Chains A and B, each alone.
Chain A
Amino acid sequence: MRWKTAELTGWGRVLSGTAELARPEKPAALSAILTDTPAPAIGAQRSYGDAAVNSDGRAIDMTRLDRFISFDMDTGILHAEAGCSITDMLDTFAPKGWMPAVMPGTGFATLGGCIAHDVHGKNHHKAGTFGQHVLEIELAGADGRTATVTPDSDPALFKATIGGLGQTGAILSAKIRMIPCSSRLIQVDERRAANLAEFMEMLKASNATYCVGWIDGTANGRSLGRGILEEAELTSSNMAPKLRKPRKVPFNAPKFALSPPTVRLFNRMYFNRIPKQGRGVLRSLKDFFFPLDKIHDWNKLYGKRGFHQFQCVLPDETAERTLRDMLRLIADAGLASPLAVLKRTGPGRAGPLSFPMEGFTLALDFPNSENARALVTQLNTLTADAGGRIYFAKDSLATAAQAHKMYPELADWQNTVEAADPQGVFKTDLVRRLKLRTPA
């Protein structure tokens, strides 16, 4: 196998590292690599920080192992290679009446990546995380041996692999249970929320299958926490969705593109676009689930400096107070970009390192700068103090102590991982930075 010296970069383009990268196209080539030189497997490199970075080490790019192995039309059970993208699953199986039960915010994410981060979607409060729909995982361990892991065959290893950041081995393929999808269109109802208290009430009261809120990170005072609630249900319409060609950001955008006045103006227009009485629209599944995938390389909008995404989840007991503190800090700093999400989360999680907990999750992007780093550091501290968690798929600034505090099941996970990978061949920059494999 030839190795290529490659720059591995998180989607936020702040953390990066040089690694020797292999990209096998056949299972036999992959198995030869894993036997001789086991290394962390990476997918579409859509995590924001350093989860898919292994500085001065090796990594295996799984994106060419992207075939569907079997699909059962009656049960919706799909067996696929780890490099399959969520978009590919949606495109191929939605016309046949099935779609992934949980879809993250980008369809470019791979099956392996969705398992390794136990991703959630706009239906978390109802459907739980991606990992809760995984039936079995074909895992190649540090010794090069391949095993099929199910919740029955090895419950600890199965759980440690879901949300396990690739530390138990390379995910080669997996079986997932998909859900019926009656059409390729979705009915979306949009309503304004005037402030944080109203927004949280609306989110709590919503019984929609898919529910997500856009939040204005620049609003302050009486409008603090205002936003737009989107509730959506699959329709039975048999209209074909409009196909739109994706556009590409060709170069790094200049700084003024996301300067505070631009963002404030944009956010005001974005908020006012929804009539006071609300409105209903019909969207294609892809437009609704992956709104940013239409703009390829949208991370370049933040310019060369890159950006940080902060995402936390807060338990119900502390959520309102903490969110208020956070949003005040954010609005006062004036650093937020328009991309900001407030969402209700349910209790669903599939592994000890899974992110969600019952409560609320807030996610915001900040163009990288010293002030932004200081702000995110403050937000991380508020999260830890409130008994919440930050999301490893997004993080670039948390500390090891915070990570250990936020994930109380870490010790159990470590036991399973040390047994599976005693030499630490699957360690990544993220794992080293947050000392995830170091006992407290």
Chain B
Amino acid sequence: MSQTWIILGAGSAMGRAFARKAATQGAHLVLAARDQDDLARTAADSLARGAASAAAVLFDVRKPESFAPIYDAAKANDGIINAAVFVGSMAPQADVDADPNTGDLTIQDSFTGPVNFLHGLAPIMEDRKGGTVLGIGSVAGDRGRIGNYTYGAAKAGFHTYLSGLRNRLNRSGGHVVTVKPGFVDTAMTWGIEGMFLVASPEQIADDLWTAHEKRKNTLYTPFFWRYIMAIIKAIPEPIFKKLSV
């Protein structure tokens, strides 16, 4: 059966690494991001690596009118439609504290935008009776921490949505993976102090593909973040509220 992958945020390092993975598996790709020239490059790269086709569609998570062309591009292919959602933004908490409107944008980019996109996609996936959604959340969504709780809250909201969507798509043979990456070596984390156990985008992409094939529900990647977060989540609130982890 022919497989189509929509890659939302194909301009990000993780999105690009995943596009490569899907391309080498011979999938049809619908690559969506903001930078047209860069997208065209990634589309060409995907074709050279074995993608059955690669459409480059301009997409801005803050512009809902950019969603329909992506649905259309995916529907143009026969078979199963999958989606990997890499969009999101992380404004530094200090910026959000200084201007609360900045928080709105983080929430729109990481939560409400992707949710609206997926809600438009769900009926199409149901129609095709299958498909996987890889929703990129974050370990930051597991507990609100002083360093980035607006971003964390947006991701927590996204996790909850993904869990509901999993419940829904399961009825038509579809599946949703809630992905919680730890620190990944991308432009977003480049040069930021205090990074540790940083994973490469390729490592994450491999994990994502395995999680898709094995229909995992929740994926911590790299795997050890499951244990790190288990500890963070287990700290009693009276103590946790005094920590700056």
Contact = CB atoms under 8 A, between A and B. Distances in A.
B187 A23 contact: yes
Interface string A1-25: 0111100000000000000000111
B230 interface: no
B44 A2 contact: no
Given A2-B190, A2-B191, A3-B191, A26 B38 contact: yes
A134 B186 CA distance: 31
Given A27-B38, A28-B38, A81-B41, A71 B48 contact: yes
Sorting the interface of chain A by its residue count into under 10, 10 to 19, 20 to 34 or 35 or more gives 10 to 19
Interface string B20-63: 00000000000000010110011011001100000000000000
B191 A4 contact: yes
Interface residues of B, number: 18
B38 A68 contact: no
A161 B42 CA distance: 27
A209 interface: no
A64 interface: yes
A377 to B, nearest CB: 38
A26 B191 contact: no
Contacts of B12: 25
A27 B41 contact: yes
Contacts of A81: 41
A28 B37 contact: yes
A69 B44 contact: yes
Interface in A45-67: 64, 67
B13 A68 contact: no
Nearest to A26: B38
B35 A28 contact: yes
A92 interface: yes
Contacts of B186: 25
B187 A69 contact: no
Interface in A372-418: none
Interface of B: 11-13, 16, 35, 37-38, 41-42, 44-45, 48-49, 186-187, 190-192
23 contacts: A2-B190, A3-B191, A4-B190, A5-B191, A23-B190, A25-B11, A25-B13, A25-B187, A26-B38, A28-B37, A28-B38, A67-B42, A67-B44, A67-B45, A68-B45, A68-B48, A69-B41, A69-B44, A69-B45, A70-B48, A71-B48, A92-B48, A92-B49
Given A2-B192, A27-B41, A68-B44, 6 more contacts: A25-B187, A28-B38, A64-B187, A67-B45, A68-B45, A70-B44
